Structure 1
Amino acid sequence: MDEIIRAAGALLGQPLRDPVDLGGSSRSTVLRCRTATGGSVIVKAFADEPEARRAYTGETAGLSLGLAGPELLAADVERRLLVMADLGDAPTLADLLLGTDPKAAERGLLEWARGLGRLAASSLPRRAEFAALWQQHTQGLPSWEDEPWQLQNADAFLDLLTECGLTAPPGLAEELTAVGTAGGERYPGFTPGDTCPDNNLITADGLRLIDFEAAGYQSVFLTAAYCRMPFSSCWCVHRLPADLARRIEEAYRSQVVTQYPELAEETHWQAGMAQAVVVWTVDSTVHLLRRSLPEDGWTHRTRRPVPTRRQVLRHRWTSALELPGYPAFTATMRLLLSEIAAGWDVPELPGYPAFRDRSEPALPPRGPAQ
């Protein structure tokens, strides 16, 4: 830690002191430090392993665009070290959803959805700039935009079914391959990558995003699916009231149609959303199922209340039971529910604490209008 502080101070041009560890991850150390002038900054140092190196490049290139995150004050590509402005201790969207104020949580969700939609719509002209920034800060790894992670997940998903003793329904491999990039080439938009509730600060100046480690351009549908599922790859997963889930999806959509007016057409929108739900359901299964087979466990090491991995998986599979255009995939969901989840003695996924009085069944999947 002392070495990180000294290097960051030299990078910033002033000494830093009084570090507070903000948690970080296996990829990075994150510190809040006091400056010589009495202010504070956030220092982030990345480990020397492949995903940490990619995360450094994503964070630095993403913040350099100056779109929605903290100001990037300095970066050192050799040390994989950056210093950014401190946004303070504003509540995160996760704090609001797990709290007791339904109006604050609802405002936070709508602000989150509109903010992400505006970001996706306004960022398209800067795609080449982001690519240049990636090369400027590169650690020799491709961006997530260039990494075929969805097809890699598809292969891992098929292998996992075999490992579980299940036979994939005919046509499943072809459906997963056809999902491809979920509209990424036709409808790209910038995203910090991890837009989960704990990475969104609800400040007096509006929504501010943190954690740009997976920043890049991806299909707007992949972000929109976070509104519907909800929070496709996160630990903070509970049920939303159905009316509110629809409102936040429409709040996001209302912004992206300014860039992609054809997405106002209902059939087009619902087809893209179904595709994104397939992508994220496969992703959840690949990342959670193997750990969930021998025993259950919480989705977060320290935060409470949170669901268990088995609760999340069963919710994901149930929510994907009716996706028009994906008969083999929906048959696979039924297979997982009957052969795997049937033996899980866990309660249904609860509603978010902030909306417990409005808890309703999970928002049913909607297919393209007929």
Structure 2
Amino acid sequence: MRSELPFGEKLRAELGVPARGRRLDSSPRSRVWRAELSGTPVVVKQLVDGPEATERYDREVTALKLAARVEPPVVPALLGTDPDARVLVLEHVDHRPPGEDWVTGHATALARLHAATGPDDTGLLPAWSGPVQGDIDSFLALAATLDVPEPPGVRAELEGLVARLRTAPGHALLHGDPCPGNDMHSGGGVRFIDFEQSSLGSGLVELAYLRIGFPTCWCATAPPAPLLHAAEAAYRATWREATGTDVPDDLTDACAGWLLRGDALVQRAYRGTTDHLALLPGQDWEWGTATARQRLVHRLGVVAAMTGDGNGRHGAELRGLGRLATDLRRSMLTRWPHLRPLPRLRP
């Protein structure tokens, strides 16, 4: 594998000649090696040719530079780049098996990452993009296919939701895929990797991952309530310490937004290719730790609990969605009684 290491003259001039290159597992969108520079281990990552490869590379480089402001670090150090070959050279982080309460450290590091940017950084990364009108249409069409009546006014509620998410304030540095596996647990704390989908926006949309079941991740899991509450509290306390401001209490909109997105039922390579909610009545498919129907049932339960009693400002604005989520979840469990809950979150 050494001859494949994409370490051109530019990087050799800056960093030296690499040795002991060894290919590591990675997504289909990249190639990753472990190598050594003057006896020090490093990671070499190359984004392969494909749709938006240059954009994904630019996002990752920009996000890593922005995140480098944070001390203690929440990302590996970026040691060198070769834009022509779409190569990054990164500090190697020794990953340790996390403890049972790893999600608390994950949430703490996520808050520190989010706090790395502010209003002056607008435009350095794309703005976060949420659900759109097509997601509303697909979600309501799924309910109709499963013979679940649409509560009066629910379409207007969902249109209001999409509008609120589109204009939600915030300049947080969003990872784009803050999943177990994209966090490295080391003696110095958690460091995040793989920023190809990074953006700027409201940190609530990624804090919601813990509650809604890690929607863009292969490892859809549900933390026990005490651990969930501890992790969310750790995020809020860390954000307050870093920024001097409070995180809004209401995660309802963020969780409801993830519920609408059928593309959050499949891995990235299949997103944007078809209406995945339309496929779900006729087939179920596995992705990582759960099936698509398991994922959706979990999200429906979360949103139903957050909106059904009208608690919170946005809960009151989504009462019709709460009734629809409750009825749709009941219909799915009646049709497919063998659906199991998401697995409990484990290290």
TM-score of Structure 1 vs Structure 2, range by shorter chain: 0.7 to 0.9
SS at the partner of 2:340? Answer: coil
Give the structure with the higher percent helix: 1
- Aligned positions of 1:314-333 closer than 5 A: 314-322=297-305, 323=307, 324=315, 325-333=317-325
Q: CA 1:73–1:342 in 2, change beyond 3 Å: closer, same or farther?
A: same
Give a deviation string over 1:122-160, Cα, whole Å, max 9, x none.
4326625xx44x5xxxxxxxx2x16xx3243x4134235
Q: CA 1:31–1:294 in 2, change beyond 3 Å: closer, same or farther?
A: farther
Contact 2:100 2:346 in 1 (8 A): no
- Aligned positions of 1:268-287 closer than 5 A: 268-270=248-250, 273-283=251-261, 287=265
Give a deviation string over 1:32-79, Cα, whole Å, max 9, x none.
2233x2222212211333343332111111112214211112222232
Contact 2:2 2:21 in 1 (8 A): no
SS at the partner of 2:286? Answer: coil
2:141 to 162, 178, 187: 162
Give a deviation string over 1:71-100, Cα, whole Å, max 9, x none.
112222232222212113x13xxx54xxxx
In structure 2, C-alpha distance between the alignment counterparts of 1:8 and 1:184, rounded to whole Å = 43
Percent identity (aligned): 25
Query: TM-score, normalization: structure 1?
Result: 0.74
Q: CA 1:21–1:169 in 2, change beyond 3 Å: closer, same or farther?
A: farther
> For structure 1, which runs of at least 5 residues remain unmatched after alignment?
97-103, 135-142, 301-305, 355-370
SS at the partner of 1:235? Answer: coil
The aligned counterpart of 1:5 is: 5
The aligned counterpart of 2:22 is: 20
Size of the aligned set, in residue pairs, is 315
Contact 2:6 2:46 in 1 (8 A): no
> For structure 2, which runs of at least 5 residues remain unmatched after alignment?
267-275, 308-314
The aligned counterpart of 1:49 is: 50
State the shift of 1:165 in Å.
2.5
2:106 matches 1:105? no
State the shift of 1:170 in Å.
4.3
In structure 1, C-alpha distance between the alignment counterparts of 2:234 and 2:80, rounded to whole Å = 34
State the shift of 1:212 in Å.
1.2
Query: TM-score, normalization: structure 2?
Result: 0.78
In structure 2, C-alpha distance between the alignment counterparts of 1:29 and 1:181, rounded to whole Å = 38
- Aligned positions of 1:1-370 closer than 5 A: 5-8=5-8, 10-13=10-13, 14-35=16-37, 37-65=38-66, 66=68, 67=70, 68-88=74-94, 90-91=95-96, 96=98, 104-106=99-101, 108-124=102-118, 127-128=121-122, 131-132=123-124, 143=126, 145=127, 149-152=129-132, 154-159=133-138, 161-162=140-141, 165=145, 168-179=150-161, 180=163, 182=165, 185-258=168-241, 259=243, 261=245, 263=247, 268-270=248-250, 273-283=251-261, 287-288=265-266, 289-290=276-277, 292-300=280-288, 306-322=289-305, 323=307, 324=315, 325-344=317-336, 345-353=338-346
**Could you say what the CA RMSD is over the residues aligned between the two structures, in angstroms?**
2.9
Q: CA 1:294–1:254 in 2, change beyond 3 Å: closer, same or farther?
A: same
- The letter for the 2-side match of 1:62 is A
